[in-house]
């Protein structure tokens, strides 16, 4: 029987004031983050030894902890040092870096969340892609799921969370139908978002991306800023399922890959099944920004 450490990717973590191998990072079974999915997190990536949009990710993380009434005890400088330390100890040039805060637990397992002590942890593992970059020309084959996204009136999607059962069920539905992944819909069958990504649609009026019921992704916001640099109009508004299927171009945005082409929706080819001109322009500009000091920070500067 293989040692359990062999089942983990290379990586480093920080918990309780200490760095450790990723395989040693654990939370108690009674932590509300595990038992109740009572936690928030954010993911930033490092590319060629530079964090991309780090301050934006940290700002969203702090806002999320505040909204969940468990403000983070670390300040921005301390958090940056911890994240950079994870990357450096894991010895990565390109990595996926996650910061997490759980509700924690009370010493007596009291059900009153106010009595719990929040728990912060972070880790760095190798950079992962939603879609292998070698497959960008063929793009994502997407299914519009029949499963409804959790209502924003119940769970605020702007707080990054682990409430993924609707998304996971959508993924299984997509697999059963022979597709790569799924995008979920709201009660009016407007498309919203997929597991770990936002979506954009292009028509003769420019780009559209859903406004309500979605995580306000950092890469989503980056795409909006990049479109502005290229004088491409962007509207944040509802997108019906049929409208999305009839897009001239479509793409997903995610920390796990940036601007990712969607070339097939419910079996219908988008832009003849190839990455579109606008999608390609945005993708190239996105990666160019990774060396721009206004968009990125060196890991070594933060240690």
With a pLDDT cut of 70, the percent of the chain lying above it is 98
* 2 pLDDT above the threshold of 70: no
Mean pLDDT of 36-56: 98
With a pLDDT cut of 90, the percent of the chain lying above it is 94
Give pLDDT tens digits for 223-266: 999 999 999 999 999 999 999 999 999 999 999 999 999 999 99
pLDDT band at 6 (very low <50, low <70, confident <90, very high): low
Q: What contacts 82, CB < 8 A, 6 or more positions away?
A: 14, 74, 99, 122
Give pLDDT tens digits for 201-224: 999 999 999 999 999 999 999 999
Residue 9's pLDDT is 84
Give pLDDT tens digits for 100-138: 999 999 889 888 999 999 999 999 999 999 999 999 989
Mean pLDDT of 69-76: 97
* 297 pLDDT above the threshold of 50: yes
- Among 173, 11, 198, 165, smallest CA distance to 90 is for 11
For 209-268, the DSSP string reads E--SSS---HHHHHHHHHHHHTT--EEE--EEHHHHHT-SEEEEEETTTEEEEEEEETTE
d(CA 135, CA 150): 31
Cross-strand bridge partners of residue 273: none
Give pLDDT tens digits for 155-166: 999 999 999 999
Q: Are strands 140-148 and 181-185 parallel, antiparallel or unpaired?
A: parallel
Residue 5's pLDDT is 52
d(CA 29, CA 38): 13
Mean pLDDT of 12-29: 96
Q: Which domains does the chain have, with CATH numbers?
A: 4-126 (3.30.470.10), 133-290 (3.20.10.10)
From residue 75, how far is each of 62, 71, 202 by CA, in Å? 9, 10, 40
**What is the residue-averaged pLDDT of the chain?**
96
Residue 1's pLDDT is 41
d(CA 88, CA 49): 9
pTM: predicted TM-score of the whole model, two decimal places: 0.95
């Amino acid at each position: 029987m293989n040692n359990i450490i062999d089942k983990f990717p290379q990586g480093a973590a920080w918990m309780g004031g200490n760095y450790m191998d990723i395989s040693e990072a654990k939370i108690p079974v009674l932590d509300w983050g595990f038992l109740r999915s009572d936690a928030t997190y954010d993911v930033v990536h490092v590319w060629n030894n530079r964090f991309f949009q780090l301050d934006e990710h940290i700002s969203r993380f702090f806002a999320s902890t505040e909204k969940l009434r468990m403000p983070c005890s670390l300040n921005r400088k301390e958090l940056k040092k911890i994240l950079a330390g994870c990357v450096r100890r894991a010895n990565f040039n390109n990595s996926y870096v996650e910061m997490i805060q759980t509700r924690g637990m009370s010493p007596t397992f009291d059900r009153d969340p106010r009595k719990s002590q929040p728990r912060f942890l972070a880790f760095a593992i190798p950079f992962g892609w939603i879609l292998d970059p070698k497959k960008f020309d063929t793009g994502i084959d997407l299914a519009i799921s029949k499963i409804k996204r959790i209502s924003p009136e119940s769970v605020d999607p702007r707080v990054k969370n682990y409430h993924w059962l609707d998304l996971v069920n959508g993924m299984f539905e997509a697999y059963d139908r022979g597709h790569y992944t799924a995008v979920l819909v709201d009660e009016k069958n407007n498309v919203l978002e997929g597991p770990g990504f936002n979506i954009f649609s292009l028509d003769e009026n420019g780009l559209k991306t859903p406004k309500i019921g979605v995580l306000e992704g950092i890469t989503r916001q980056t795409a909006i800023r990049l479109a502005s640099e290229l004088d491409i109009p962007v509207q944040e508004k509802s997108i019906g399922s049929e409208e999305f299927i009839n897009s001239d171009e479509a793409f997903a945005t995610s920390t796990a890959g940036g601007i990712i082409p969607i070339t097939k929706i419910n079996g219908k080819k988008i832009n003849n099944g190839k990455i579109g001109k606008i999608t390609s322009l945005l993708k190239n500009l996105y990666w160019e920004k990774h060396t721009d000091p206004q968009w990125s920070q060196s890991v070594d500067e933060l240690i």
